[in-house]
Amino acid sequence: MLTRRDFLKLAAASLLSAAAPAFARPARSQAPTPASPAPARAGEFVTVRGDQFVLGGERFPINGFNYYPRLHPWHTFNVGEWDAEAVERELRLGAGLGANVVRTFVDYPASLNTDPRRPPDVYFALLPQYIANLSAFIEIAGRLNLRVIVTLFDGADWDIYQPYSAWMAEEYLTQFISPFANDPRILGWDLQNEPDRAIRTVGAETVIPFFQRISAQIRRMDPHHLQTIGWIDRARGKYFSDLDRALDFWCFHFYDDVMRLGDLLAFYKSITTKPVLLEEFGLATGGPGPDGQHTELDQLAHYSIVYALLSGYGMCGSVFWTLVDFPKGLAGNPPLPEDSPENHFGVFRLDYSEKPVAQQIRYAWTGS
């Protein structure tokens, strides 16, 4: 009987034999030179038509990557950790694969001015420098023709969902959304990353109304940008009916057996006519435990099967996890002190050299 691991090895071997020169490993001392990104319609907003994204009247397939800086994961825009030069260098790597979308995360606690000397009614005001750093990120992404999915409320504690905190979330969003409401370089707002655990802890009867409230508020301030939520795939569309009027497209994250993905895609296609975006997927190429016992060729095969299935089911695109490996002791929120598979999901190694999967991504996105 052919095991999953044997299948992945055969798939990788087949792919490599078909394109052996393309997958030659570059010298670790050299960073790959990205290709020039294709021109974008900078002044137009991405919209939705049926189960696809549209830009300028044409289908806009989402070819994206999730992004944290190599040396500041989970703290991209934090004051004192923002590094514009490193961010631009790394985003160029993603653009060089043929990407047109980058997903980033707003560290909610780090974005707040929690100085106790401030009056209570403005205690949770935004840090101006945090917003300036996010603006700089969007400027860099725009130069590289990357549309940005901005994920809100990352790292927020459970109190944010409670009705007594509604004023706090409302004031925060009033300050946060307004400066970006007319910026077409933003593809959309992801209201939160993986709120499934919040539902398990606080309860759907509290969390779902929170999303209904903030979605309506954002829509009033910003009717241009799309909205979604980054669900873990185990949610299985459970909350679609509660939020269908609020959200423009659906997302799910997938870190399961790749052989299960086809059935999951068919399921999602059967319960909504809106776009369904695979917003996170990947395979670690190292680290302790069973999740780290995969090679770079396993990763190549995994991505190859994912892209084949997405194409076969006519999906709207995907956003892989993640661009670059992280050094030991930095990945996670809070960071894990020891080595972890979380450090090894990148399609680029720590020295920015390409893993074999980078060529597969480039071929899937550009045909070259």
Query: Could you tell me if 186 and 227 are in contact, meaning their C-beta atoms sit under 8 angstroms apart?
Result: no
Which residues share a beta bridge with 112?
126
Q: Which residue has the higher pLDDT, 233 or 99?
A: 99
pLDDT band at 33 (very low <50, low <70, confident <90, very high): very low
Nearest to 315 by CA among 90, 61, 127: 61
Predicted confidence (pLDDT) per residue in 87-97, tens digit:
999 999 999 99
pLDDT band at 288 (very low <50, low <70, confident <90, very high): very high
Contacts of 274 (CB under 8 A, 6+ apart): 48, 51, 244, 247, 248, 249, 250
3-state SS class at 133: helix
Q: What is the mean pLDDT of residues 292-296?
A: 97
pLDDT for residue 240: 87
CA atoms of 203 and 244, how far apart (whole Å): 19
Which residues share a beta bridge with 51?
none
CA atoms of 190 and 214, how far apart (whole Å): 11
CA atoms of 60 and 54, how far apart (whole Å): 5
Query: Could you tell me if 56 and 41 are in contact, meaning their C-beta atoms sit under 8 angstroms apart?
Result: yes
Which residues share a beta bridge with 104?
150
- Count the helix, strand and coil residues of the chain and give each as a percent rounded to the nearest 5: 40, 15, 40
Exposure on the CB side of residue 218, measured as CA atoms within 13 A: 26
Pairing of strands 47-49, 226-232: unpaired
Which residues share a beta bridge with 65?
102, 320
pLDDT band at 67 (very low <50, low <70, confident <90, very high): very high
CA atoms of 359 and 238, how far apart (whole Å): 36
Whether the ω angle into residue 334 lies within 30 degrees of 0, i.e. cis, is yes
pLDDT for residue 114: 77
pLDDT band at 31 (very low <50, low <70, confident <90, very high): very low
What does the DSSP assignment read for 275-324?
Answer: -EEEEEE----S-SSGGG---HHHHHHHHHHHHHHHHHTT--EEEES-SB
Of 16-20, 248-252, 300-304, 312-316, the least confident = 16-20
pTM of the model: 0.89
On the question of pLDDT at 256 being above 50, the answer is yes
To the nearest 10 degrees (0 to 180), the angle between helices 84-96 and 128-143 is 30
Q: What is the mean pLDDT of residues 246-262?
A: 96
Question: What is the arrangement of strands in the sheet containing 58-59, beginning at the earlier edge strand?
Answer: 47-49, 52-55, 58-59
Q: Which residue has the higher pLDDT, 35 or 66?
A: 66
pLDDT for residue 172: 94
Query: Could you tell me if 146 and 189 are in contact, meaning their C-beta atoms sit under 8 angstroms apart?
Result: no
pLDDT for residue 1: 38
pLDDT band at 334 (very low <50, low <70, confident <90, very high): confident
Averaged pLDDT score across all residues of the chain: 89
Of 19-23, 279-283, 306-310, the least confident = 19-23
On the question of pLDDT at 37 being above 60, the answer is no
CA atoms of 70 and 323, how far apart (whole Å): 9
Phi–psi pair at 289, nearest 5 degrees = 85, 170
Q: What is the mean pLDDT of residues 27-33?
A: 36
What the chain holds in terms of domains, given with CATH numbers, is: 60-366 (3.20.20.80)
Q: What is the mean pLDDT of residues 188-211?
A: 95
pLDDT band at 20 (very low <50, low <70, confident <90, very high): very low
Predicted confidence (pLDDT) per residue in 338-355, tens digit:
999 999 999 999 999 999
On the question of pLDDT at 6 being above 70, the answer is no
